[in-house]
């Protein structure tokens, strides 16, 4: 599902941002700079909404962005999330992939007990520059 919620961003003295989503109780996060804060807001909203969807809880409607009031060091920004896309990007379940390699390479790899799945995962993470995923 796709959703759009307003989030209130507060610039802290440290230069970091505190973010709260008034329509989603307890949905707060922080970001070290504005790009990070936008990512963190999207992540926090996605987690909140996925949890509500999983538990068949009602999804609160989004407030009108113009009805929210802010202090002078705050601003409101709309955050768009897609829980289907979020689930796909963060799903750790194993899936089966079929691949083709030369027979001679397969024979040598099997002789030394190489785990093909682990090698492929490691190579894909390296190729994609992914270092922060388990």
Please write the tens of the pLDDT for every residue from 69-103.
Answer: 888 889 999 999 999 999 999 888 788 888 899 99
- Verify that 81 and 117 share a domain, yes or no: no
Q: How many domains does the chain have?
A: 2
- Verify that 102 and 64 share a domain, yes or no: no
Confidence of residue 47 (pLDDT cuts 50, 70, 90): very high
Question: Which of 56, 19, 14 shows the shortest CA–CA distance to 35?
Answer: 19
The domain of 42 spans 2-90
- Verify that 115 and 99 share a domain, yes or no: yes
Question: pTM of this prediction?
Answer: 0.75
The backbone torsions φ and ψ at residue 69, rounded to the nearest 5 degrees and listed phi first, read -105, 150
CA distances from 87 to 11, 50, 82, 121, 128 (A): 30, 8, 9, 19, 19
- Report the run of H or E that residue 108 belongs to, with start and end: helix 103-111
Confidence of residue 133 (pLDDT cuts 50, 70, 90): low
pLDDT of 77 = 97
- Please check whether residue 9 is in contact with residue 19, taking contact to mean a CB–CB distance below 8 angstroms: yes
- Verify that 81 and 19 share a domain, yes or no: yes
- Verify that 76 and 104 share a domain, yes or no: no
């Amino acid at each position: 599902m796709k959703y759009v919620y307003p989030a209130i961003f507060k610039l802290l003295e440290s230069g970091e941002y505190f973010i709260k989503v008034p329509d989603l109780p307890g949905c707060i996060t922080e970001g070290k700079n504005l790009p990070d804060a936008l990512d963190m807001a999207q992540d926090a909203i996605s987690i909140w909404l996925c949890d509500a969807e999983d538990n068949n809880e009602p999804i609160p409607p989004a407030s009108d962005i113009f009805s929210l009031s802010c202090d002078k060091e705050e601003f409101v920004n709309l955050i768009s999330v897609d829980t289907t896309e979020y689930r796909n990007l963060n799903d750790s379940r194993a899936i089966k992939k079929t691949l083709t390699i030369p027979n001679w390479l397969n024979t040598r790899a099997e002789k030394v007990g190489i785990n093909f799945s682990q090698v492929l995962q490691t190579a894909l993470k390296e190729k994609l520059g992914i270092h922060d995923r388990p």
